Amino acid sequence: MQQEREIVRMIDEQTVEVSLPNRMGYERIAMDCSASFARIAGLVSHRIEDLKTAVAEACLNAIEHGNRGRPEARVLIHLNCDGETFTVTVVDEGEGIAEFPKEPDIEQKLAKLETPRGLGIFLMKNLMDRVEFNRKTARGHSVTMVLRMETAPAASKASREMA
Amino acid sequence: MESNQIFIEKSGNVTVLDIKGDVTSASESVFNETYQSLEGDSPKILLKFDPSVYINSGGIAVLIQLLAETRRKNQQVGITGLSDHFQKIFKMVGITRFARIYPSVEGATQGLAG
């Protein structure tokens, strides 16, 4: 019998954990969970869109590069909101990023002198306020992304209560 | 994952590629097939997205490959239908330097014809 696994766990009022199968497309679950949690915390909508894209790209990197597409591996996403910052940590079972892609040059890409890929890390860095790569954890390699909380006025109470 | 469908339409002398579904690395074959199936001369192409589309870095790479082809053939490309967020992403990556964003199909048809 297949072992049942919990996908989403509320650790406490400030923290949610998502454990995903290592499968392309499942990053959408992490996107939706982080967006829902950020919405409850009161993050303004345009920053939620930034968060969704950054979370998706971190998960895709974990699935494809960190876990090298291994179906038995997992991707763990840890979401925390302390009222001041929204922090996402994505953990895979890999060794970390050995070589970072260079800043994308669209001219070079269109001239086919540079791979059209390699945009994920660029997007994460540009959409989040802070990104830390290659931190080793007990489970593997992690990427941590931090967003300062910008709250809509009506939602600021929920955000304060999380603090 | 939601699969892609691309419908080819005409708006004046502009060929409109009406893109349904998410745009990811899995979209490469449908974009290639659609582009190769364009009949005769298509000097002006409009990429029409669904405002709720999910586009990831793999999908952006597919679009860059398409733009590389259109550039090689001196085709003019416009974009419409994107949410504010993806308009920002396309600008960030540099795509908007080579494919202008229009607010509507009608606006794009006029703009690309000019």
Residue scoring higher pLDDT (B6 or B2): B6
- Cα–Cα distance for residue pair B23/A135, rounded to 1 Å: 31
Which residue in chain B has the smallest CA separation from A110? B68
- B95–A28 C-beta distance less than 8 A: no
Q: Which residue do the tokens 């290639």 mark?
A: B32
- Interchain contact B38–A (C-beta under 8 A): no
Average confidence (pLDDT) over B62-79: 96
Whole-prediction pTM = 0.91
Q: Which residues of A touch B95 (CB under 8 A)?
A: 106
Using one digit for the tens of pLDDT, what is the confidence trace for B10-48?
998 999 999 999 999 999 999 999 999 997 778 999 999
Residue A132 in tokens: 């830390």
The number of distinct structural domains making up chain A is 1
Tokens of B37: 């199936």
Distance CA B34, CA B55 (A): 18
Per residue of chain A (163 residues), what is the pLDDT tens digit? 455 677 899 999 999 999 999 999 999 999 999 999 999 999 999 999 999 999 999 999 999 999 999 999 999 999 999 999 999 999 999 988 888 888 999 999 999 999 999 899 999 999 999 999 977 877 789 999 999 998 776 665 566 666 6
Tell me whether residues A57 and B71 touch, CB distance under 8 A: no
> Per the domain annotation, does A64 fall within a domain?
yes
Q: Domains of chain B by range and CATH?
A: 5-113 (3.30.750.24)
CATH code, domain with A87: 3.30.565.10
The answer as to whether A140 is a domain residue is yes
Structure tokens at A127: 């959409």
Tell me if A92 is assigned to some domain.
yes
Distance from CA of B6 to the nearest CA of A (A): 20
Residue B95: closest C-alpha in chain A: A106
Residue A1: predicted pLDDT? 46
Per CB distance under 8 Å, which residues of A are interface residues toward B?
Answer: 24-25, 27-28, 46, 49-50, 53, 56-57, 60, 104-107, 109-112, 115-120, 122-123, 126
Question: Does residue A12 form part of some domain?
Answer: yes
A2 within some domain: no
Task: Let me know if residue A3 belongs to a domain.
Answer: no
pLDDT number for residue A138: 78
**Number of A–B residue contacts, CB under 8 Å:** 66
Q: Quick one: pLDDT at residue A161? A: 64
Per the structure, the complete domain to which residue A147 belongs is given by 8-162
Q: How far apart are CA A24 and CA B26, in angstroms?
A: 10
